[in-house]
Structure 1
Amino acid sequence: MPTLHDITTFFDDTPPHGKSPWVVPPSPRPIDIVEYDETWPMQYAERESQIRRSLGALVLDIFHAGSTSVPGLPAKPVIDIELIVADPSHEALWLTPLVDLGYILTVREPWWFEHRCLTASDRSVNLHVFGPDSPEPWKQRIFRDHLRQNTNDRMLYADAKRAAALAATDRGETMMEYNRRKQSVIRDIYTRAFIAAGLTPG
């Protein structure tokens, strides 16, 4: 389990010199932010059930993350799933069953808590794979739960997402640039979320 310091600290996920995280390089495409869809939890539940059936006991934890997990929050119509396995670097155990379900490995970042990201073939799901010692899934849960409870930060984040999507689409940027455009707002919200959760002093 990660330490409290690890959970409340943001680590650089920039690749080492000469390394690339991309198994499938991204390409620019329009970023569409839509109003909250009440079917998103059901879509997640169906995907979770498929993954559990496929991986069995390899699933140490799995949960719905990202904006589609926050009722009332506008989002890209893409379900974000966090999957915890014992060792993401041991891909022979867990990757093939997910490929058989139609997922495509797009990102491999061994320098960032052994993170892997897979995308559904229809781009409707981003599946993030971490190990049990990674602080990132804890961060994702804290952020999600804070937005579920805090209307002001939920509205602030919605505005940031729409502005970032518009700017990134107008400039023909990739999802990485879109994410960078909203990073400062995300970090501000995390500060309040950590305080609210009692993880850092107010």
Structure 2
Amino acid sequence: MDEQRSRRRPDVTEVERVGGTEQRELFLVEHDPAWAGEFARHHARIAAALGQTAVRIEHIGSTSVPGLAAKPIIDVLVTVHDITAEEDYLQPLVDAGYPLRIREPGHRLVRTPERDVHVHVYEDDAQACVDYLLLRDRLRTDRADRELYETTKRGLVTRTWSSMDAYADAKTEVIEAIKARARETR
């Protein structure tokens, strides 16, 4: 076990963006039931690449919520036992057609070259995983919060953003409020 740990690099301490900051056109489309099938194809591809290294593979984000308008990007949550053990998951994902985009503390993001599928890798016990699933499940079951979130996103996509991160950050207050209501009703 000590030899195995010595092969692992410590988790990174800053954000590395492969290719630098990107600016993309932001737009929403009505929910597409085909997104579930698209996720299923990527689930199979990721599972084949990672085998038992993947503890969990989940469809997250707006495309995972029936009835919610979304950017047409499938978000996938993959959890592993040790995020610092990149040799166990990163190259297999790259080989499966998901180049590395972001390496940051506790999180890796790989995506398709077409940028229509984002795969978020975390350790299985990361709070971010709990939060992603909490938000997804609340939006799937609470119409008022789903409508609030969609209205917020529709307003935000009309603005110009310096990066996808800035757009994501602008949704934080609404997302936190929705998650707080979800925790209250547990």
What residue number does 2:48 align with? 53
Q: TM-score, normalised by structure 1?
A: 0.82
CA distance in 2, matches of 1:183, 1:138: 16
Q: Percent same amino acid at aligned positions?
A: 37
Does the alignment pair 1:129 with 2:124?
no
What residue number does 2:3 align with? none
Q: TM-score, normalised by structure 2?
A: 0.89
Deviation readout 1:104-155 (Å, 9 max, x if unpaired): 1111112xxx111111111111100011221111111111111111001000
Query: Partner letter of residue 136 of structure 2?
Result: R
Query: Partner letter of residue 89 of structure 1?
Result: T
User: What secondary structure is seen at the aligned counterpart in 2 of 1:108?
Assistant: strand
Equivalences for residues 119-198 of structure 1 within 5 A: 119-167=111-159, 171-197=160-186
User: What secondary structure is seen at the aligned counterpart in 2 of 1:103?
Assistant: coil
User: What secondary structure is seen at the aligned counterpart in 2 of 1:185?
Assistant: helix
Query: Partner letter of residue 82 of structure 1?
Result: L
Offset at residue 183 of structure 1 (A): 1.2
Query: Partner letter of residue 22 of structure 2?
Result: S
- Structure 1 stretch displaced more, 140-149 or 172-181: 172-181
Where has structure 1 moved over 6 Å in runs of 4 or more?
none
Deviation readout 1:142-190 (Å, 9 max, x if unpaired): 11111111001000000111111111xxx35210111111111111111
Offset at residue 23 of structure 1 (A): 2.8
What residue number does 2:109 align with? 117
8 Å Cα contact 1:24-1:105 kept in structure 2: no
8 Å Cα contact 2:68-2:150 kept in structure 1: yes
Offset at residue 21 of structure 1 (A): 3.5
Gaps of 5+ in 2: 1-11
Give the total of aligned pairs.
175
Query: Partner letter of residue 27 of structure 2?
Result: D
User: What secondary structure is seen at the aligned counterpart in 2 of 1:130?
Assistant: strand
Gaps of 5+ in 1: 1-14, 198-202
What residue number does 2:59 align with? 64
What residue number does 2:9 align with? none
CA distance in 2, matches of 1:190, 1:52: 29
CA distance in 2, matches of 1:159, 1:173: 21
Query: Partner letter of residue 171 of structure 2?
Result: K
Query: Partner letter of residue 172 of structure 2?
Result: Q
Offset at residue 51 of structure 1 (A): 0.7
8 Å Cα contact 1:117-1:127 kept in structure 2: yes
CA distance in 2, matches of 1:176, 1:98: 23
Change in 2 beyond 3 A, CA 1:149/1:54: same
What residue number does 2:33 align with? 38
